[in-house]
Structure 1
Amino acid sequence: MTTYDIAIVGAGIAGASLAAELAPHARVVVLEAEEVAGYHATGRSAAFWSETYGGPGIQPLTSASGPPLRDGGFLEPLGSLHIGRAQDQSRIDAFLAAFAGTHVPLERVDPAALVPGLRPEWTLGVSEPSCAYIDVAGLHAACLARVRRAGGDLVTSASVEHAERHDGVWRIDTSAGIHAARVLVDAAGAWADPVAIRCGVAPLGIQPYRRTVVQLRTDPPTAPGIPHVADIAGGFYFKPEAGGKLWLSPHDETPTDPCDAAAEELDVAIAIDRFEQVVDWRVVAVERRWAGLRSFAPDRHPVYGFDNAAPGFFWFAGQGGFGIQTAPAAASLAAALMLGTDPPAGLDPSRYAPGRFAGPVR
């Protein structure tokens, strides 16, 4: 049985990006419960990069991820428009104030000039021109390819059943056999707490939530150049897709157990109802519907770092809905913590450390 330096549980974008950073410097194995990597949250992402998404606490990770994502060819121009009605003026003001001094480009605009058919009550707008599409599949595949080139291993259908640490080495029992590693990384997304429990580690209270997305065909078709459009009050977002299609979400967050999430009819109906209150376009058909899971720690910030009470156990979880757009910077930060190198400039590891919680959730 090979003893690895690091075993990473989960081969979604979190585990894949971290493994890509670590594999040139350490012997790494990635253990994935599903038959294919990226089946859950990564494969169901709404696929956009926005420096304001997740709030000011996430913005440094997103902004730091921008250059490597652009250099890798994983971003394409999109732009975002945050809209509101008269009663949302305080939200617009607070949004602008929250990102003042961050160098995120934001500008008050007339939203009707950017969205044809916008209903007249939507009078407030803030443009975020840096927002971009993300090639999620391309990014994920590139990370896994880097792992393979560096000699790292990926084992699928390898659900962690139990793990114990003896003499500085984790023995990890999985459905694909036994593996050993000096460091065990929990990058299991919605399953982060259950994996921790199977490893004898106290959970942190990382809660999965269901998020719904539908693909619509509208009349008129989505016009070229329409930006990503988000309700400043958090009631919806939609963005154009190729072929005149539209992706729409009611911005729902429904608490759930870790599962293979599916869209529910009520959430689809809510999404369409909210959309029809924003524009005068007619919904011709719902062509696709799906749901993914987004997982948050109690303070809604990600958790990166060694567990205070479990030597050799590293948390890389709680990325919410922004795990893909922050993947390069988050992976660089976590790799630095594990390898004992300097963290990336502008990122404060203490902000994301598991020790920030008052105590474990039992």
Structure 2
Amino acid sequence: MYRILFALVFRHMDPERAHHLAFTAIRLLPKLGLRRLAARFTRPRTDQAVSALGLTFPTPFGVAAGFDKNATAILGLGALGFGHVEVGTVTAIPQPGNPRPRLFRLIPDRAIVNRMGFNNEGAATAATRVAKTRAVVGRPIVGVNIGKSRVVAVSDAVADYRVSARAAAEVADYLVVNVSSPNTPGLRDLQAVESLRPLLSAVKDEARGVPLLVKIAPDLVDDDVLAVADLVVDLGLDGIIATNTTIARDGLSTDRQVVTAAGAGGLSGRPLKERSFEVLRLLRAHVPAELCIISVGGVETARDVRERLDAGATLVQGYSAFIYRGPLWVRAINRGLDDLAKAR
């Protein structure tokens, strides 16, 4: 049904407008009293709970940052079957993001190009919304992903991140430092260890014991991936999210003119699958077994999720396939994981 709807309607709409329409429907689930009914339909049939970060995740599969930028659809996304919802990226200073159009589909590749630019209403506003969900029974685990405000110079990034971390730490189940989006000028420079160390140390101070992870880019060379991993272990952080979107455009099936027209931005979806899997394996072989690794990038099926878990991922996230698979995608993954477990 959704495939027909996508082919006839959504693929012809502006991607950002289509996202907002779908997002509105997800937000309405709790307001219409359908959250618990939907959750019974979408949750796993068997026990898939994962203990990580001092928390219990009802399923290993969650939604990556970028989908719920302002923490307005946490309960609706939980009702669809996500075990955790990572909201954001939020910044200390509210910002509109980059000019539109800024979201593009590469349909033959089942991929997305975005240059949203951390459009969000600010960390303080997001924190207020997250706080309202904390007492809700059956809510998903909530992570808050924080980034640098665009108007703040890279040299002042530490103080800027501190503001967001302070607000988010009051309400988040875990925190993520995003230094890997390609859509904020200079942000990826913060992945260099000499810049990253003082930043992560400062955010850890503000986190006050809330589990803290850092999200890295797939475009880092392997030696730099390992250098960040060593820093994470040295500072006593709780984990790494691998990976964010890529600036690469290699091996795409989409017509070159369409890719060129989409322009700059982060590429996500199926083309990211191989590299994100490589980074996962590289990290898992290098860091202590207890360090949490959340794998994201090119995940579309239950088998994809199972492969990531078998390769050492603690948890798995998705986003882009939501656009192509529709609202029952999460249910299909949860039930598919049930079936794969039974087949073992």
**Common fold, TM-score beyond 0.5?**
no
TM-score, normalised on structure 2? 0.31
TM-score relative to the length of structure 1:
0.30
Q: Which has the bigger relative contact order, CA under 8 A and spacing at least 6?
A: 1
Query: By percentage of residues, which structure has more strand?
Result: 1
Q: Which structure shows the bigger proportion of residues in helix conformation? A: 2
Rg comparison, structure with higher value? 1
